[in-house]
Chains A and B, each alone.
Chain A
Amino acid sequence: MQTFILLLPQLILFLAALVVFGLDLVGRDEKKWLPYVALAGTIVALVVAVYLVVAVELPAGPVLGGTVALDSFALFFQIVATLVAALVIISSLGYMQERTPYRAEFYGLLLIACLAITLVAAAADLIMVYVAFELLSITSYVLTGYLREDLKSNEAAIKYFLYGAMASAAMLYGMSLLYGATASTDLSAIASALLGADASLRWLIFPAIVLLMVGFGFKIAAVPFHQWSPDAYEGAPTPVTAFLSVGPKAAGFAVLVRVVLTALPDFRADWVALLSAISMMTMTLGNLVALSQRNIKRMLAYSSIAHAGYILIGLVSWDLWQSESVFNGINGVLIYLLAYLFTNLGAFAVVIAFEQATGSNQIEDYAGLMQRSPVLAGTMLIFLFSLTGIPGTGGFIGKLFVFGAAIQIQFYALAVVAIVNSVIAAFYYLNVLRYMFFQPAVEGASAFKVPPALTVTLAVTCGLTLIIGLYAQPFLQLAQSSVRLLGI
């Protein structure tokens, strides 16, 4: 019974998806209310997840045959996933309405993807990791290619799929090496098998770590496994891009954190070296390439690559002995993800609204947006400054915590690279602001209104971006209490 209650959010999401798929088959009318069923499902799941965090005592060990760890870390990602799904569904309403007559599956698939994220975050067994990951990947591929009349959407899906299949294969190979070395797929059992293992195992474990990182790096879009993301982001329907930029990324970080901390604590030196290098490359390459982008979806794609690099700093700065300190690294990962989630979804909501009104995604077409739609320009200003990391926004709190962790553990080089990068990043974020505020609109560009649904997304994301920045305490408490993972 206890297990059943703890799995309620997942069950609700699954049920909502079934209802959406099922009702779509009944009758021939358009059923404009179906998205709202999906939305209701995510909101109920969100409320239940929050309730679980606040009021329910969590089990001491993994459930469902040791495959699912329902700890506060997993619950944190349930909240994240359901929030993302809810906001993406709201943002999709008008956009999908205009572009395709087949919409019910879209929302059903989003629910499944959301469910997959919650499972990935809770996976305590390599098999479960793989299955949940594939569930997320496959739904993401379909969502990316959802506009089947649109060649770019198709191209994006194919690219995403090919890269994804490669990455999954590599990851599976890594898992099989781990299994070969330890005779177990259970994360805690792997850790205990590796504890005090003789040094000769290292030649097996290090390649396994590298191969696992291919899979995880693909999901979080870290360099050098990032090439799919600009194309997928650009071609996918914009609400899906918004989803990809936060949902799978959060899932990737969840599983990465859990696997390295639970299964590989004794090989910390190895994965820290590897991930530090990946982090530096990811920040630098993401930001440098973003500088030259002219399409806002591509720019945000490279920006979200760079942000994955910043978040990785939190993970590599984790130190078991300092898990109770203010900057313990993992709380930085979580608070950064939370702030980034709202900020990036908000920025994409602006992109969606702009695309719906003008049909364009080119940055130069944002010229004079301040005159055309002060709401969009004003909220975009806040989102871009949050991405830059200006105080008063959530992005600053996230950066403060990951940089703080890096300094605490004396990874000064990492901190300095990150700082230099955040200055580089300011340049391309400001470039968008420059068009919106400083350039006059082109001849004939008229003012336009933001659709009500998107206004809701903007209000929620902008509000939370500012609240995290100005009154971070409850979010920090949530992040701090979610650092507790099972089995470490």
Chain B
Amino acid sequence: MSFPILTVITFTPLLGALIVFFIPKDKEDWIRWVSTIVSLVPLVLSFMVYAAVRANPGQMQFMEEYSWIPALDVYYRMGVDGISAVMVLLTALLSTLSYFYSAYTIKDRVKEYYFLFLLLQMGMSGVFVSLDLIFFYVFWEIGLVPMYLLIGVWGGANRIYASIKFFLYTLAGSAAMLLAIIGVYLYTGTFSILEAAAAHPFADNFVLAAAAFWAFFIAFAIKVPSFPFHTWLPDAHTEAPTCGSVILAGVLLKLGAYGLIRIVLPFFPGVFSYYSYNVPIIPILAVISIVYGALVCMAQWDLKRLIAYSSVSHMGYVTLGISAAAASLAMSGHSEGLMTSAVIGLNGAALQMFTHGIITGGLFFLVGIIYERAHTRDLKSFGGLGAKVPYYYGIMMVTGFASLGLPGLAGFWSEFFVFRGTFAIIPVFACIGIAGVVFTAAYILWKIVQYVFLGEFDQAKWDEATHHAKLTDMELFEKVTMWPLVLVMVLVGFYPTVVVALLNGASIALLGKL
């Protein structure tokens, strides 16, 4: 038996959580650094997985399969292809950075904080590597619990409302998904994601297939979140502690999108294409998310809430790319060019998952950094910070430009791919969605860059708004947190192939099987 690398990636955080559990409460520095160091193990291993999967990204690799609950045909099944490998890496990277950043910023109930955060990391990695529906569901829900507590204990003023809203929304979705999982099992006789996908559950019964499709889709759309299921997100993101928002935006939202790619599209290609092309509900929801999300951003005065809404908009691109790939299946004349466009659309969606994770993760760190100093996120109380905190200004500019899709930075490629794929398949929605790009540029430049950094710095206004807070530039630990993210943004911006090669192989394999 070879080295169970995925098991180690998934469960090392659990081991870390157990270690933290046994460290006395008052040894806070021990807790902080043990967690950070433990999290290096999955980080290094996921780099190795990433490198190994490159050779053949369309193939499920590092497969592990053990019987778990024989009475229920539930297996412990793990495996990664190109898309999951990228997501596993994203999870490990953002988690390690979060532990590192929290080591300096979390002062309250440190032990519980790290214990929960490590559990959360286990849940998230587990979702990306599971190939068994029940196993997937277990990780999906287990991640919910620590996030709920992280928001509720360490969150902002309105944290209690936000935490319960987050929990109930996700639970409602996943409860429906559970019924669909059982239905799929009863139809196909297996909980294996790959085997069930090959069997195309309910392919002979459109009504049941559509019911199961919507149950899965709504569960994932709540997590993505797609309009109209997005309302939990601004609250949860705004109230969560900095690293909670980073992980929420960076990884948790991707769980939903990943579910669409890994489960909904392969299981129900017929229904998905029907609702993407014949009755295009899903692309409509996607473009509403894109445009409406961006417009709402322009109306925000709370910097964190603004970035939260930008996630709604940016995750809309993901849904749009996936639905374009699905729509291609419904079109007559299954030509090669169409297939290429579908693959490009799906690549764009998956790449957007990765780049949005990196960029928005970075943006939430940056919001946290300014909030630590000013204790306010009100855009009206800033202005002219560019001259005062040049380093922060620079990093924010890079991240913000990456977010609005400036060529040369990571965000450009994912949006480009999504629109390239969508335009060839469902051009109407590409044309509407492109408006989102314009609004994104508007709110980044106008709201963030102009209101925060440009103009004259008004000391009196700052003092009044922040109660005489000291304005200093980024500390070393803050820079160290941001460096890897900026590096990835630039690297992917100049050489997208480093990620796209993995995604492309996986997308071709995935669409080829439909």
Q: Which residues in A have some Cβ–Cβ distance to B below 8 Å? A: 326-327, 370, 385, 388, 390-392, 396, 399-400, 403-404, 407-408, 415-416, 419-420, 422-423, 426-427, 430, 433-434, 437-438, 471-473, 476-477, 480
Q: Which A residues lie within 8 Å of B69 (CB)?
A: 471-473, 476
Q: Are A476 and B72 in contact (CB under 8 A)?
A: yes
Q: Which B residues lie within 8 Å of A396 (CB)?
A: 138, 141
Q: Are B175 and A407 in contact (CB under 8 A)?
A: no
Q: Are A403 and B178 in contact (CB under 8 A)?
A: yes
CA distance A415 to B211 in the complex (A): 13
- Taking the nearest CB of chain B, how far is it from the CB of A229, in angstroms? 26
Q: Is the interface of B mostly helix, strand, loop or mixed?
A: helix
Question: In chain B, what residue has the closest Cβ to A421?
Answer: B175
Known: A430-B164, A472-B71. 7 other contacts (CB 8 A): A326-B71, A388-B171, A391-B141, A396-B141, A407-B183, A408-B186, A476-B69
Q: Are A404 and B145 in contact (CB under 8 A)?
A: no
Q: Which B residues between 114 and 167 are near A, CB-CB below 8 angstroms?
A: 134, 137-138, 141-142, 144-145, 148-149, 152-153, 159-160, 163-164, 167
Q: Which B residues lie within 8 Å of A407 (CB)?
A: 179, 182-183, 186
Q: Are A392 and B167 in contact (CB under 8 A)?
A: no
Please tell me which one of the listed residues B112, B137, B167 contacts residue A391 in the complex, with CB atoms under 8 A apart.
B137
- Taking the nearest CB of chain B, how far is it from the CB of A463, in angstroms? 15
Q: Which A residues lie within 8 Å of B138 (CB)?
A: 391-392, 396
30 contacts between A and B (CB under 8 A): A326-B71, A327-B182, A370-B112, A388-B171, A392-B138, A392-B141, A396-B138, A396-B141, A399-B178, A403-B178, A403-B179, A407-B179, A416-B179, A420-B175, A423-B171, A423-B172, A426-B168, A426-B171, A427-B168, A430-B167, A430-B168, A433-B152, A434-B160, A434-B163, A438-B160, A472-B72, A473-B69, A473-B70, A476-B69, A476-B72
Q: Which A residues lie within 8 Å of B145 (CB)?
A: 385, 390
CA distance A438 to B153 in the complex (A): 5
CA distance A419 to B183 in the complex (A): 14
Known contacts A404-B182, A422-B175; is-contact A392 B73 (Cβ 8 Å)? no
CA distance A209 to B332 in the complex (A): 59
Question: In chain B, what residue has the closest Cβ to A430?
Answer: B164
Q: Which B residues lie within 8 Å of A426 (CB)?
A: 167-168, 171
Please tell me which one of the listed residues B142, B168, B185 contacts residue A390 in the complex, with CB atoms under 8 A apart.
B142
CA distance A480 to B159 in the complex (A): 44
CA distance A476 to B148 in the complex (A): 30
Please tell me which one of the listed residues A390, A403, A437 contacts residue B141 in the complex, with CB atoms under 8 A apart.
A390
Q: Which B residues lie within 8 Å of A327 (CB)?
A: 182, 186
Interface-central residue, A388, A400, A476, by most chain B CB under 10 Å: A400
Interface-central residue, B71, B138, B160, B167, by most chain A CB under 10 Å: B71
Please tell me which one of the listed residues A326, A392, A420, A438 contacts residue B142 in the complex, with CB atoms under 8 A apart.
A392
Known contacts A392-B138, A419-B176; is-contact A438 B71 (Cβ 8 Å)? no
CA distance A41 to B86 in the complex (A): 59
CA distance A179 to B97 in the complex (A): 74
Q: Which B residues lie within 8 Å of A326 (CB)?
A: 71-73
- Taking the nearest CB of chain B, how far is it from the CB of A215, in angstroms? 33
- Taking the nearest CB of chain B, how far is it from the CB of A132, in angstroms? 31
CA distance A476 to B73 in the complex (A): 12
Question: In chain B, what residue has the closest Cβ to A391?
Answer: B138
Please tell me which one of the listed residues A390, A399, A427, A476 contacts residue B71 in the complex, with CB atoms under 8 A apart.
A476
Question: In chain B, what residue has the closest Cβ to A407?
Answer: B182
Known contacts A407-B182, A476-B72; is-contact A437 B152 (Cβ 8 Å)? yes
- Taking the nearest CB of chain B, how far is it from the CB of A326, in angstroms? 6
CA distance A430 to B178 in the complex (A): 20
- Taking the nearest CB of chain B, how far is it from the CB of A120, in angstroms? 27
Q: Are B160 and A391 in contact (CB under 8 A)?
A: no
CA distance A370 to B72 in the complex (A): 36
Q: Are B149 and A437 in contact (CB under 8 A)?
A: yes
Q: Which A residues lie within 8 Å of B73 (CB)?
A: 326
Known contacts A438-B152, A476-B69; is-contact A419 B164 (Cβ 8 Å)? no
Q: Which residues in B have some Cβ–Cβ distance to A below 8 Å? A: 69-73, 112, 134, 137-138, 141-142, 144-145, 148-149, 152-153, 159-160, 163-164, 167-168, 171-172, 175-176, 178-179, 182-183, 185-186
Q: Are B153 and A477 in contact (CB under 8 A)?
A: no
Q: Which B residues lie within 8 Å of A404 (CB)?
A: 182, 185-186
Q: Are A390 and B182 in contact (CB under 8 A)?
A: no
Q: Which A residues lie within 8 Å of B137 (CB)?
A: 391
CA distance A400 to B177 in the complex (A): 12
Which are the 7 A-B pairs with shortest beta-carbon distances?
Answer: A476-B71, A391-B138, A419-B175, A438-B152, A423-B172, A404-B182, A391-B141
Q: Which A residues lie within 8 Å of B134 (CB)?
A: 391, 400
Question: In chain A, what residue has the closest Cβ to B159?
Answer: A438
CA distance A473 to B185 in the complex (A): 18
Q: Are B179 and A480 in contact (CB under 8 A)?
A: no
CA distance A205 to B153 in the complex (A): 57
Q: Are A480 and B149 in contact (CB under 8 A)?
A: no
Please tell me which one of the listed residues B163, B179, B182 contacts residue A438 in the complex, with CB atoms under 8 A apart.
B163
- Taking the nearest CB of chain B, how far is it from the CB of A402, in angstroms? 11
Interface-central residue, B112, B141, B163, by most chain A CB under 10 Å: B141
- Taking the nearest CB of chain B, how far is it from the CB of A469, in angstroms? 9
Q: Are A423 and B163 in contact (CB under 8 A)?
A: no
Q: Which A residues lie within 8 Å of B159 (CB)?
A: 438
CA distance A404 to B153 in the complex (A): 35
Q: Which B residues lie within 8 Å of A434 (CB)?
A: 152, 160, 163-164
- Taking the nearest CB of chain A, how far is it from the CB of B232, in angstroms? 13
Q: Which B residues lie within 8 Å of A427 (CB)?
A: 164, 168
Q: Are B182 and A400 in contact (CB under 8 A)?
A: yes
Question: In chain B, what residue has the closest Cβ to A415?
Answer: B179
Q: Which A residues lie within 8 Å of B182 (CB)?
A: 327, 400, 403-404, 407-408
Q: Are A437 and B167 in contact (CB under 8 A)?
A: no
CA distance A341 to B167 in the complex (A): 25
- Taking the nearest CB of chain B, how far is it from the CB of A480, in angstroms? 6
- Taking the nearest CB of chain A, how far is it from the CB of B239, in angstroms? 11
CA distance A399 to B167 in the complex (A): 19
Q: Which B residues lie within 8 Å of A430 (CB)?
A: 148, 164, 167-168
CA distance A282 to B455 in the complex (A): 64
- Taking the nearest CB of chain A, how far is it from the CB of B454, in angstroms? 39
Interface-central residue, A408, A437, A471, A480, by most chain B CB under 10 Å: A437
Known contacts A385-B145, A400-B182; is-contact A473 B163 (Cβ 8 Å)? no
CA distance A416 to B214 in the complex (A): 14
Q: Which B residues lie within 8 Å of A391 (CB)?
A: 134, 137-138, 141-142
Interface-central residue, A407, A415, A476, by most chain B CB under 10 Å: A407
Q: Are A437 and B153 in contact (CB under 8 A)?
A: yes
Q: Which B residues lie within 8 Å of A416 (CB)?
A: 179
Q: Which B residues lie within 8 Å of A437 (CB)?
A: 149, 152-153
Question: In chain A, what residue has the closest Cβ to B148?
Answer: A430
Question: In chain A, what residue has the closest Cβ to B175?
Answer: A419
Question: In chain A, what residue has the closest Cβ to B177?
Answer: A419
Q: Which A residues lie within 8 Å of B185 (CB)?
A: 404
Q: Are B71 and A477 in contact (CB under 8 A)?
A: yes
Interface-central residue, A326, A370, A422, A477, by most chain B CB under 10 Å: A326
CA distance A404 to B182 in the complex (A): 6
Q: Are A400 and B71 in contact (CB under 8 A)?
A: no
Q: Which B residues lie within 8 Å of A388 (CB)?
A: 171
Q: Which A residues lie within 8 Å of B71 (CB)?
A: 326, 472-473, 476-477, 480
Question: In chain A, what residue has the closest Cβ to B138?
Answer: A391
CA distance A330 to B134 in the complex (A): 21
Q: Which B residues lie within 8 Å of A390 (CB)?
A: 141-142, 144-145
Question: In chain A, what residue has the closest Cβ to B173?
Answer: A423
Q: Are B168 and A423 in contact (CB under 8 A)?
A: yes
- Taking the nearest CB of chain B, how far is it from the CB of A432, in angstroms? 12
Question: In chain B, what residue has the closest Cβ to A382?
Answer: B145
Question: In chain B, what residue has the closest Cβ to A331?
Answer: B71
Q: Are B175 and A423 in contact (CB under 8 A)?
A: yes
Q: Which B residues lie within 8 Å of A480 (CB)?
A: 71
- Taking the nearest CB of chain B, how far is it from the CB of A425, in angstroms? 10
Q: Which A residues lie within 8 Å of B183 (CB)?
A: 407
CA distance A419 to B144 in the complex (A): 17
